[in-house]
Amino acid sequence: MADVAGNEAEQAAPDINARQPPAVLDPQLFMAARRGDSERLKELLLLRNDGDQQQGGPAAATATTTAQVILEVDRPPAAAPLLHLLDGLTGNEGDSLLHVVAACGDGHGHGHGQDFLNCAKMIYRGRSGLLVARNNRGNTPLHCAAGAGNAGMISCIISLAAAGDETTVTEFLRMRNKCGETALHQAVRAGSKASMDELMSVDPELAAVPSEADEGNTTSPLYLAISLGKEDIAEHLIQKSNGKLSCSGPDGRNVLHAAVTRRKALPMLLELFKDVTVQVQQGEGARRVSTVPLLSQLTMQRDIDGSTPLHLAASTDWWSGAWVVSERFEHIWPWSKSTTTLLLDANICSAYQPDNKGLYPIHIAALAENLDVTKVLLQRCPDCATLQDGKGRTFLHVATRLGIYKVARYACGQPELSTILNVHDNNGDTALHHAVHVGNLVVFNCLIQNPKVDLSIANKDELTPLDLSWVKIPRGLSYQSHPRIVISRTLLLVGAPAGGSRSDLFREKYVREIDVEKVSQDLANTTQAMGIVSVLIATVTFASAFTLPGGYYQSASDGGVPGTPILAGSYAFSAFILADALAFICSCLATFSLVFAGVPAMELTVRYKHTEISTTLLHASGGSLIASFALGLYLVLAPIAHAVAITVCVISSGALVFGNMETWQMLCGLNTARARLGIQRLFATWCDLAPAAGLFAFSPFMILIVIFGIPAIIGNPDKTLSSLQAIFWKEGIAVFILLSLFIVVMGPPLIRLMVQRWKW
- Listed in order, strand segments (DSSP E) in 311-432 are none
Per-residue confidence (pLDDT) for residue 59, from 0 to 100: 32
On the question of pLDDT at 58 being above 70, the answer is: no
Query: Quick one: which of 222, 197, 196, 198 has its CA closest to 209?
Result: 222
**Alpha carbon distance 340, 330 (integer Å):** 16
Say which residue, 436 or 712, is predicted with more confidence.
Answer: 436
Cβ–Cβ < 8 Å for 153, 102: yes
Q: Percent of the chain at pLDDT above 90?
A: 38
Cβ–Cβ < 8 Å for 444, 490: yes
Per-residue confidence (pLDDT) for residue 286, from 0 to 100: 52
* Stretch among 150-154, 343-347, 503-507 having the lowest mean pLDDT: 503-507
**Alpha carbon distance 760, 758 (integer Å):** 5
On the question of pLDDT at 99 being above 60, the answer is: yes
**Alpha carbon distance 641, 727 (integer Å):** 14
Summarize the confidence of residues 705-715 as an average pLDDT: 78
Per-residue confidence (pLDDT) for residue 692, from 0 to 100: 57
* Stretch among 25-29, 255-259, 750-754 having the lowest mean pLDDT: 750-754
| Long-range CB contact pairs, 421-424, < 8 A, 24+ | 421/396, 421/447, 421/450, 421/452, 421/453, 421/454, 422/452, 422/453, 422/454, 422/457, 423/386, 423/388, 423/394, 423/396, 423/397, 424/392, 424/457, 424/459
In the beta sheet, which residues pair with residue 565?
Answer: 552
**Alpha carbon distance 562, 554 (integer Å):** 5
- What is the crossing angle of helices 483-493 and 465-472, to 10°? 150
Number of residues that this document lists for the chain: 760
Can you say whether the dihedral through the CA atoms of 594, 599, 600, 601 is positive or negative? Answer: negative
Say which residue, 694 or 365, is predicted with more confidence.
Answer: 365
**Alpha carbon distance 609, 523 (integer Å):** 11
Per-residue confidence (pLDDT) for residue 684, from 0 to 100: 60
Query: Quick one: which of 508, 733, 480, 458 has its CA closest to 612?
Result: 480
CA–CA distance from 517 to each of 521, 522, 593 (Å)? 6, 9, 21
Summarize the confidence of residues 590-605 as an average pLDDT: 86
Per-residue confidence (pLDDT) for residue 155, from 0 to 100: 93
Q: List pLDDT tens digits, range 430-451.
A: 999 999 999 989 999 999 999 9
Per-residue confidence (pLDDT) for residue 104, from 0 to 100: 86
Say which residue, 689 or 602, is predicted with more confidence.
Answer: 602
On the question of pLDDT at 394 being above 80, the answer is: yes
Cβ–Cβ < 8 Å for 585, 641: no
* Stretch among 587-591, 674-678, 713-717 having the lowest mean pLDDT: 713-717
At 560, the pLDDT band (50, 70, 90 cuts) reads: confident
DSSP state of 451: T
Q: Which residues fall within 8 angstroms of residue 333, CB to CB, at 6 or more apart?
A: 261, 263, 322, 325, 326
Give residue limits of the domains in the chain. 23-46+83-203, 388-510, 516-554+561-759
At 687, the pLDDT band (50, 70, 90 cuts) reads: low
In the beta sheet, which residues pair with residue 280?
Answer: 290
Using alpha carbons only, what angle is made at residue 251 by residues 247 and 256, rounded to the nearest 5 degrees? 40
Say which residue, 81 or 443, is predicted with more confidence.
Answer: 443
How many Cβ atoms are within 10 Å of 751's Cβ, its own excluded? 12
CATH superfamily of the domain spanning 388-510 = Ankyrin repeat-containing domain (1.25.40.20)
**Alpha carbon distance 688, 695 (integer Å):** 13
Q: Which residues of 678-687 are buried (b: 16+ CB within 10 A; e: fewer)?
A: eeeebeebbb
Q: Percent of the chain at pLDDT above 70?
A: 77
**Alpha carbon distance 123, 129 (integer Å):** 10
| Long-range CB contact pairs, 499-505, < 8 A, 24+ | 499/458, 499/462, 499/463, 499/464, 499/466, 499/467, 500/462, 501/462, 501/467
Which CATH fold would you assign to the domain 23-46+83-203?
1.25.40
Per-residue confidence (pLDDT) for residue 587, from 0 to 100: 94
CA–CA distance from 99 to each of 88, 103, 598 (Å)? 11, 6, 77
Q: List pLDDT tens digits, range 7-48.
A: 444 444 444 444 556 678 888 888 988 988 888 888 887 755
CATH topology agreement for domains 23-46+83-203 and 388-510: yes
Cβ–Cβ < 8 Å for 352, 387: yes
On the question of pLDDT at 586 being above 90, the answer is: yes
Ranked by mean pLDDT, the top range of 31-40, 195-204, 522-531, 615-624 is 195-204
Summarize the confidence of residues 336-340 as an average pLDDT: 78
Per-residue confidence (pLDDT) for residue 375, from 0 to 100: 93
Half-sphere exposure (CA, 13 Å, Cβ side) for 199?
A: 34
**Alpha carbon distance 296, 273 (integer Å):** 10
How many whole angstroms from its chain centre is CA 581? 50
Q: Which residues fall within 8 angstroms of residue 620, CB to CB, at 6 or more apart?
A: 582, 586, 702, 703
- What is the crossing angle of helices 604-637 and 571-597, to 10°? 160
Cβ–Cβ < 8 Å for 172, 142: yes
